Copies of this chain bind each other. A is one copy, B any other.
Amino acid sequence: MNEIRIHEVGLRDGLQIEKQVVPLEKKIAWIEGLLAAGIDMIQLGSFVNPERVPQMADSDKLFAHFSQDVKKPSAVVLSGLVLNEKGLERGMACGVEMFCMGVSASDTHSRKNTGRGTDEAMGQIIAMAQAALKAQKRVQASIQSAFGCGFEGPIAPERVLSIVEKYLEAGIRNISLADTAGHAYPPQVEDLYGEILKRDGQAELACHFHNTYGLGLANCYAAMRAGVKYFESALGGLGGCPFTKVAAGNVCSEDLVHSLQRQGLATGIDLEKLLAAARDLAAFFGRELPGFILKAGSIVNFKKGQ
């Protein structure tokens, strides 16, 4: 039994900001690499307007490939991000197993992203989540900007807790806190997850950190200390915008797995195979990715004299 579960989100949160559109075949090859490495929860993409985000235009085909044409292992969960009812409908049609959806704890961020404030967005998201649950699908509801907002700055924990309570009341058990701008710091992370688990010790909590200020893995450690078992991360640390100087990539999957395995935690993941997939990703984009293990090499199986 694995103690920690990695939810690989690089194909969505990593690729969505990349200008260089990745061909379907390449995405399939990366997903095969992730499956070979033993990653058992993978976000294949999002269901958004293909004209607005061309990188995500083939999400339906990608799900169809792995859920209909090629059978992936049954223990593997394929997730997709949906923003509205239309996305939910598309996801239902092509084989999404876990629907990810959410609201922002920052009213400003929510309005900029969706045209509506948090409270208004909430009603829609809860209705969508309940529809997906009714259809026997897994659902993960997220709270974006849960630890701070690039527009508003600090976000009161009470605001996040009240959204969590609404999710729990609506029957949503799997809740992810997303540090969209990378503002989180470790004791804040530990406190906030601790507060949630005080309210419901059985909630399935996930975390999603960005490494903007170098604290990604520190925040993961803090979340783990608080009892979080689901970690969202991206191969290679993808997600940083290559067109600015702000290094805002996701927590890097192979760095996180390396850190977990160094701690002796069971992840069910073959790190060398994961690194091979990350190297293929770096080769495709032709630039150095933020991941540390890609550069330094793994010391999980370090033996004297190496």
Binding site for B on A (CB under 8 A): 108, 148, 151-154, 182-183, 185-188, 211-218, 220-222, 245-248, 252, 255, 258-259, 262-263, 291-293, 295-297, 299, 302-306
Which secondary structure dominates where chain A touches chain B? Answer: loop
Contact, CB under 8 Å: B218 / A292: no
Using known A-B contacts A153-B304, A304-B152, determine if residue A259 contacts B296 with beta carbons closer than 8 Å. no
Let me know if A185 and B259 touch, CB within 8 A: yes
A213: contacting residue among B153, B218, B296, CB under 8 A: B296
Q: Give Cα A211–Cα B151 distance, bound, in whole angstroms.
A: 30
15 examples of A-B residue contacts, CB within 8 angstroms:
A148-B299, A151-B304, A153-B299, A153-B302, A186-B218, A187-B263, A212-B296, A214-B291, A218-B218, A218-B221, A221-B221, A221-B222, A245-B296, A247-B292, A247-B296
Please name the 10 residue pairs, one residue from A and one from B, whose CB atoms are nearest each other, closest first. Answer: A214-B292, A218-B218, A185-B262, A153-B302, A186-B221, A217-B218, A214-B255, A246-B296, A245-B295, A218-B221
Partner of A153, one of B245, B247, B293, B303: B303
A201 to B: closest C-beta gap in Å: 22
**Chain B: which residue is nearest A247 at the CB level?**
B295
Residue of B nearest to A218 (CB): B218
Pair B255/A213 contact, Cβ less than 8 Å: yes
Enumerate chain B residues within 8 angstroms of A293, measured Cβ to Cβ. Answer: 213-214
- Determine how close the nearest CB of chain B comes to the CB of A180; give it in whole angstroms: 13
> Which one, B152, B211, B291, contacts A292 given CB within 8 A?
B211
- When distances are taken between beta carbons in the complex, the residues of chain B under 8 Å from A297 are 246
In the bound complex, residues from chain B placing their C-beta under 8 Å from that of A186 are 218, 221, 259, 263
Find chain B residues with CB under 8 A from A258 CB: 213
Chain B nearest CB: distance from A263 CB in Å? 6
